[in-house]
Amino acid sequence: MMFEVINMSFALPEIFMMVMACIILLAVAYSGKNSGTISYWLSQITLVATAVIIYQSLAVNSGLTFDGSYIKDALSDVLKLAICLVNVLVLLYSSSYLRARGLFRGEYYALAIFATLGMLIMVSSYHFLTLYLGLELLSLCLYAMVALHRDSVVATEAAMKYFILGALASGMLLYGMSIIYGATGSLAIDAIAVAIQTGGLDITVLSFGLVFLIIGIGFKFGAVPFHMWLPDVYHGAPTAVTLFIATAPKIAAFAMIIRLLVEGLGELHQHWQGMLIILAVLSMIIGNVVAIAQTNLKRMLAYSTISHVGFLLLGVLSGSSEGYAASMFYVLVYSLTTLGGFGMIILMSRQGFEADNIDDYRGLSERSPWFAFMMLILMFSMAGIPPMVGFYAKLAVIKSVISVDLISVAIIAVLMSVVGAYYYLRMIKVMYFDAPVEQHKIQAPKDMCIMLSSNALLILGLGIFPGSLMAVCSSVFS
């Protein structure tokens, strides 16, 4: 098949990143002891250059290419730009942590870039096989990254759980895709949408395939009851890897749910809405309630993630463009806030000390008033307390379900927001009102301190002026 120049230009970010990933692999193989430093800078250059390519292509017309399997549109442009910028900060925050634990190796950065490539492919996929290709490229890299600390029994156990459950979920997703293909005769998302609109298809078969798709999506998000891997992986993986898993892949998962359910199976909204309501309500309840009992900060943030997934799904299940925009706003805000949360754990950590227990933050305001304030901003945003941007994110998704008369779901969301505020405020109480047990000064690179502070202040700024980001999200689904 012949590809036109314009077709190749649509996929220029992915092509560039793939070439650079191969160069990083060669650098890892031939640079010896310096592989970590060389791979780190090559990875940062790759992410920044890819973001520049995406930004410059914003003015280029949208369209399909590669025989309709790849799409360039406003959704893909914004989400890919966000993924690249988030991962720049992820690698920056992670470098000092990896150095202190002997994990500053080129393999981490090669896997990170290949995983990012998988995310970009997922975001622009308009065909079931392309989507599955991107998803598996991402997943296989994440499995390896969790097991990066080979001498850690906990990390190895987490990787095994993640791999086995992830393989099962991928099989479910693939089985659902095959059923949809059998019912519609196509794997292209636009062709599937047309076939369903035309009518004459067996709704029972489509609904059966839809169930398996929801299972796969639920696992990738970490929604209840497909959440069993998430706390163990967040806790067992090195914090630098947990930071990577908790942020950008959620943006790619949001793109997957929009491509599959909204653009491909939008005509079956009444069928998948009920399933998402169950996932959302269970995730909000179990995530928030179980998080209260956690004493480990990484596990608390893991259950917090489960609850946030429930809120994120509210906008999608509403079935309205306002709801989709609210969910997109939520996932971007969530990624930025989680980036800061796990970044604080890395900031507080040092060689031989992980700083992943809540008690490790006792009296932080006496040791470092500035970073205690940064952590306060992050916790307030996760709790949804104004004027932090997390408040507007939750308000937007709750309004979207109220607009479609799902009042009971909105009431549960509000109640769970109140429950969730408890464990976030507990962190603030520990930092400001408890006597310190640690006397060590915080030692971290200046670039990390500056960027982490900027991260937290950006959350405060977006909370005061949320209109600009919301306008971008609304324009995507206008």
pLDDT digits (tens, 9 = 90+) for 133-147: 999 999 999 999 998
In the predicted model, is pLDDT for residue 192 greater than 60? yes
**Span 87-114, average pLDDT:** 90
Identify the band that residue 1 occupies on the pLDDT scale cut at 50, 70 and 90. very low
Give the whole-number percent of the chain exceeding pLDDT 90.
Answer: 62
Identify the band that residue 444 occupies on the pLDDT scale cut at 50, 70 and 90. confident
Angle at 215 between CA 161 and CA 208, to 5 degrees: 145
In the predicted model, is pLDDT for residue 6 greater than 70? no
Residue 120 identity (one-letter amino acid): L
**Span 170-195, average pLDDT:** 92
Identify the band that residue 437 occupies on the pLDDT scale cut at 50, 70 and 90. confident
**What gap in Å lies between CA 84 and CA 48, rounded to an integer?**
7
Instruction: Give me the pLDDT at residue 313, please.
Output: 93
Decide which of 259 and 6 is more confident: 259
In the predicted model, is pLDDT for residue 61 greater than 50? yes
Instruction: Give me the pLDDT at residue 378, please.
Output: 93
Answer whether 259's CB lies under 8 Å from 318's CB. no
**What gap in Å lies between CA 412 and CA 397, rounded to an integer?**
13
Task: List residues bridging with 58 in a β-sheet.
Answer: none
Angle at 231 between CA 88 and CA 170, to 5 degrees: 75
**What gap in Å lies between CA 420 and CA 385, rounded to an integer?**
11
Q: Count CB atoms within 10 A of the CB of residue 27.
A: 20
Instruction: Give me the pLDDT at residue 117, please.
Output: 96
Instruction: Give me the pLDDT at residue 5, please.
Output: 53
Instruction: Give me the pLDDT at residue 459, please.
Output: 93
**Span 187-198, average pLDDT:** 90
**What gap in Å lies between CA 93 and CA 234, rounded to an integer?**
17
First-to-last alpha carbon distance for the chain, in angstroms, is: 34
The rounded Cα 281 to chain-centroid distance in angstroms is: 20
Average predicted confidence (pLDDT) for the chain: 90
In the predicted model, is pLDDT for residue 57 greater than 60? yes
3-state secondary structure 407-432: HHHHHHHHHHHHHHHHHHHHHHHHHH
Answer whether 400's CB lies under 8 Å from 272's CB. no
Task: List residues bridging with 188 in a β-sheet.
Answer: 127
Identify the band that residue 424 occupies on the pLDDT scale cut at 50, 70 and 90. very high
Residue 380 identity (one-letter amino acid): F
pLDDT in tens, 260-298: 999 988 888 888 999 999 999 999 999 999 999 998 899
pLDDT in tens, 362-373: 888 888 889 999
Instruction: Give me the pLDDT at residue 102, please.
Output: 83
Decide which of 142 and 57 is more confident: 142
Q: Count CB atoms within 10 A of the CB of residue 99.
A: 15
pLDDT in tens, 219-229: 988 898 888 88
3-state secondary structure 266-327: HHHHHHHHHHHHHHHHHHHHHHHHHHHCCCEHHHHHHHHHHHHHHHHHHHHHHCCHHHHHHH
Identify the band that residue 164 occupies on the pLDDT scale cut at 50, 70 and 90. very high
Residue 376 identity (one-letter amino acid): L
Pairing of strands 70-72, 63-65: antiparallel
Instruction: Give me the pLDDT at residue 361, please.
Output: 87
**What gap in Å lies between CA 331 and CA 326, rounded to an integer?**
9
